[in-house]
Structure 1
Amino acid sequence: MRLRDCTPGDRLTLCRLRVRAADQLRLLELGFVPGALLQVVARGATGGLLVGLGDARVALDGATAGALLVEPAGAR
């Protein structure tokens, strides 16, 4: 499923990034690596998400959130 389809409170495992190379590099630098544990903290009015990643909170726009494939944490 796509990260943008998740709701606040969902705990997820990042499976794959489907973004441009430059965007992928930045996301990897922020810690968005396959296997990372994420939690959706809040949803913005225009489709963006606030995502918890470790001790950090990262705001993602809707397009980027739609390009991150996730599964429920502990699904594997």
Structure 2
Amino acid sequence: MLDGHAQVWRETVSGGTWNGPTPIPGGDPLAPALGVIRDNSGLIHLFGIRLSDDRIVTVAQTAPGTWGAWAVIGNPNPSDPQ
């Protein structure tokens, strides 16, 4: 995280140099912690909380180094059903 936005570092080759940070495109400012998983195909999925409305948002790689669009997946506050 840098200035509220998710950033990525990439290793050029195993054991090689690292490049970054590179911002993940799009998205609004997030809380300073992210959840990260790697799926069975090796692609990364990020989960965070958008600061403007406390919605849980996610973004996933579509290919190594390429990211899809951010999506809202809900709000943990039961009084706000959106």
TM over 0.5: no
Q: Which has the higher helix share?
A: 1
Give the number of the structure whose residues are more often strand, by fraction: 2
Higher relative contact order (CA 8 A, sep 6+): 1
Answer with 1 or 2: which has the greater Rg.
2
TM-score norm. by structure 1 comes to 0.36
